[in-house]
Structure 1
């Protein structure tokens, strides 16, 4: 995270904020009625560019003013700053990285996923559940991941088998912004790649490899955080 984003994050967290994520997930006994005002007189810029507060469906939102304090919808703020926000079923809101990693196996979509013991072993260790593209020909081995703006980081492990991986890429599927790209040599072993995915809803992951080469990605040790 760059210095400007850190300053913006600190300023936003310093404000009193509310989560525009629906009260249905929380017990009614935790809700206290108040008299507040929608403050349509405020406007916002992020990094010098106008920014409109919106809900998860794209609807326009207004800040709320209550007792001389302005409350901003946390989902809109997190979208503006590219910071992940995650709410659990107990009402705990986490900004940025979560404490516990969540396996990329959750919501994984793509071919070449296998739990075949003859294919899940790398360097003497059985990873149980892996993405293994060992098809023939020069190709792009690819799949989708869906962090749904809940996570700040992706830690994904990758190994090149048989031939070097020319380029391993992670791209924001909605904006087409390339978040990470790097070559992976066979001699590198099982590489852990860290990717900043704050604000990303869907990721397109692909590896450029050659005929005779395989792409090995363990699900059990690759995770969102």
Structure 2
């Protein structure tokens, strides 16, 4: 429902809350338009407020009898990813064709490139999250998609002992995006897909028993 509505809204949407400095002067055309405070927005029947990335209210613009909405504010309301590529002057909405590996900005004490830890069932994944702690423990890590992607495709394997209550959560809003009751060693390398449209930071966590390890290949887990 949200994606269908988003496609409709885009017909009359302009780019706002994005740096116009990236545009060359020849690409800009001066117009006379009006901020329209008289227009309200409802999503699935519920009133919604348009805000910029700092939480400040933004208004629709009316120009030549057409109303334009700020794309970033609308995408935030609908939970649809939006990102601006300044190199190509391109706005990316929703899921991308090419995946982006989650290695970018990944930070954990269990982040390793050691060949002794990056191989799973004969394949070397080069760069992984490998939690080989000794006692019963919670195991987890943070991801930072920054609202730029629509889908997280996370690969994960349990070694020797199951991973219990794997939870993928919107860390800022404390909302559970996905929960898997158990991942067994016999399940092999599982791929879990999660809708992360509009999500800035994610916490992935699960419970591991003594003697168990968590294996997450960072090169084949990706955002889209």
TM-score, normalising length from structure 1? Answer: 0.95
Q: 1:65 aligns with which of 58, 62, 67?
A: 62
Determine the structure 2 residue equivalent to 1:49.
46
8 Å CA contact 1:114, 1:132 repeated in 2: yes
2-structure distance, mates of 1:205, 1:67: 48
Determine the structure 1 residue equivalent to 2:162.
164
Q: 2:173 aligns with which of 150, 172, 175?
A: 175
2-structure distance, mates of 1:27, 1:86: 19
RMSD (CA atoms): 1.1
After superposing on structure 2, the runs of 4+ consecutive aligned residues of structure 1 that deviate more than 4 Å are none
Find out whether 1:141 has 2:135 as its counterpart: no
**Unaligned stretches of 5+ in structure 1?**
none
The 5-angstrom pairing of residues 77-156 of structure 1 reads 77-89=74-86, 90-156=88-154
8 Å CA contact 1:158, 1:218 repeated in 2: yes
Query: Cα deviation per residue 1:143-178 (whole Å; 9 max; x = unaligned)?
Result: 110000000000010000010111221100011111
Give the C-alpha shift of residue 83 in structure 1: 0.2
2-structure distance, mates of 1:222, 1:16: 32
Segment of structure 1 superposing worse, 106-115 or 148-157: 106-115
TM-score, normalising length from structure 2? Answer: 0.96
Query: Cα deviation per residue 1:196-219 (whole Å; 9 max; x = unaligned)?
Result: 000101001112111110000001
Determine the structure 2 residue equivalent to 1:213.
212
**Unaligned stretches of 5+ in structure 2?**
none
Give the C-alpha shift of residue 27 in structure 1: 1.7
Give the C-alpha shift of residue 66 in structure 1: 0.4
1-structure distance, mates of 2:71, 2:21: 17
